[in-house]
A and B are shown apart, each in its own frame.
Chain A
């Protein structure tokens, strides 16, 4: 269990490689490959979209 993870964290699953975060290649790699803990990122980086409100 990642010590940085919180109890109420959300797991975001990507159904396509095109949906991976493009801002950081390392995060995209860690999201796809099991080479460590699941990357904990903010919602903006995870979706690559701007805040709606």
Chain B
């Protein structure tokens, strides 16, 4: 007996006939399509996420405003909003002419309104102090002179000399153009 002719026992699974080649092709082809679709899907996701990030950054970043538009002159802008167009406004205000004056007046109005909102009773205090100041400023003599002079009137010289005797002839002063300090 030849040992080489002895075949090992065949497993029962080996008795199953091999699958047809058509089945193998049908299994490998979908695998290739899946890989390609995954690759396309990942590529699309990368593309979408890239542009979504750009859009998010664009929406978060402060937008540049048109400094020449009249909406910037709106006094109802919230105080928390950062000051936009600062350079444009400053350059316009520095310019000589009516534009600079108009801009400065508008800015004054805006700041007045804002200050009035913050301090409602400020105008009353200011008006009272202005009245006081006005009355003190409109005095004929400065404060440094008020320790010896408070007021002044004008009297006709002849009338004064007719009513009061100062001890000297009044005609002498009129003829000699002398000054009399009493």
CB of B65 closer than 8 Å to a CB of A: no
Does the CB pair B151–A8 fall under 8 Å? Answer: no
- Docked Cα-Cα span, A32 to B157, in Å, equals 21
Interface string of A1-42 (1 = CB under 8 A from B): 010011011111111110111000001100111110011111
Give the A-B contact count at a CB cut-off of 8 A. Answer: 94
Does the CB pair B153–A38 fall under 8 Å? Answer: yes
Name which residue of chain B comes closest to A41, CB basis: B153
Contact of A14 among B152, B157, B164, B165 (CB under 8 A): B152
For chain A, what secondary structure do more than half of its interface residues adopt (helix, strand, loop), or is it mixed?
mixed
Residues of A within 8 A of B (CB): 2, 5-6, 8-17, 19-21, 27-28, 31-35, 38-44, 46-47, 51-53
Q: Give the top 3 A-B pairs by smallest Cβ distance, nearest first.
A: A31-B151, A14-B151, A8-B157
Residues of B within 8 A of A (CB): 135, 138-140, 148-160, 162-165, 174
Name 21 interchain pairs, CB-CB below 8 A, sorted by A: A6-B156, A9-B155, A11-B153, A13-B149, A14-B150, A14-B153, A15-B149, A17-B150, A31-B153, A32-B140, A33-B135, A33-B138, A38-B153, A40-B153, A40-B155, A40-B156, A41-B153, A42-B156, A42-B159, A46-B155, A53-B165
